[in-house]
Structure 1
């Protein structure tokens, strides 16, 4: 069963219609879904999947319990590194979902560094990711780091600096190769 890493920006509380259609196709094809527990896009996607009574979902979280698990699905705790704070608390669970995924589906506000880095994590291992960019009103598929750089270029210099500030050493090295 193909596994789809689904997620997006925490500031998005309404999924684009085309993303909803894509999620419906994932449900119809009975693909597995790997999703985080964050408010915003994760919770919106979980609500849609729960509305379908969809069973093939795993919720990944860093805390003792998921912040959101709207379908009461299997939950996978990926603990953060010792001393992790802020952004770093959730980054390891995102890396694990990318490792387990065959494909990605992200809804991005054109600014969220976490969502952008999740697309990079998939691009590095050459797993395609459909990106719904709500800021620009576009849909694209990122297949590799060249595509990812193009996506980031359109986001602007402030977003690029924020994304770079949140990259791990391994993610930086993957862009050099």
Structure 2
């Protein structure tokens, strides 16, 4: 069964018809959908799946509390070290979803460090992501590191610098390059 990791920017809390059509395609194919519990895109996609009466969904939550589960679906509680807080606390669940998914579907406003970090997490596992890039209102398929770099180049350089610092982008890029080299060695 195909598993898709849905995520996105907290600033994006409405789904347009093109986003809904992509989600409908996943529903029609009975994909297992993994989604986080954050406000914004996570909650909007949860609500759409609830309204669609779709049940093949698992909600991932960090720590002991699930912030949103609009469909009352099964929950996967991800253990997080109690010393972590903020972004680091919630990144643990995103990493687990990236590891378990076959693909990613990300709604990105061109500013959110968490949403683009999920794409880099998927790339570490050589997995594709389809990104809805809201500034252009277009979808982009990210299969390789260069695809992600091309998308980042469409963003404000100051924003990219901030994202780079928040998610330790040089380290993520090095991890992706190592994973790609490992796959080449196995071929």
Q: TM-score if structure 1 supplies the norm length? A: 0.93
Partner of 2:172: 171
SS in 1 for 2:161: helix
Do the aligned partners of 1:123 and 1:148 also contact (CA within 8 Å) in 2? Answer: no
Residues 1-177 of structure 1: matches in 2 within 5 Å?
1-167=1-167, 171-177=172-178
The Cα shift of 1:176 comes to: 4.9
Runs (4+) of structure 1 exceeding 3 A deviation are: none
What 5-or-longer segments of structure 1 have no aligned partner? none
**Alignment partners' CA distance in 2, 1:99 and 1:44:** 23
The Cα shift of 1:46 comes to: 0.3
**Alignment partners' CA distance in 1, 2:173 and 2:81:** 19
SS in 2 for 1:111: coil
Deviations 1:117-142 (A, max 9, x none): 10111122221111001122221100
The Cα shift of 1:3 comes to: 0.3
Q: How many residues align structurally? A: 177
SS in 2 for 1:158: helix
| Structure 1 range deviating more: 24-33 or 155-164 | 155-164
Do the aligned partners of 1:80 and 1:88 also contact (CA within 8 Å) in 2? Answer: no
**Alignment partners' CA distance in 2, 1:153 and 1:124:** 20
**Alignment partners' CA distance in 2, 1:150 and 1:106:** 16
SS in 2 for 1:59: strand
What 5-or-longer segments of structure 2 have no aligned partner? 179-187
Do the aligned partners of 2:36 and 2:60 also contact (CA within 8 Å) in 1? Answer: yes
Q: TM-score if structure 2 supplies the norm length? A: 0.89
Q: Tell me the C-alpha RMSD between the 2 structures.
A: 1.6
**Alignment partners' CA distance in 2, 1:159 and 1:147:** 18
**Alignment partners' CA distance in 2, 1:79 and 1:151:** 32
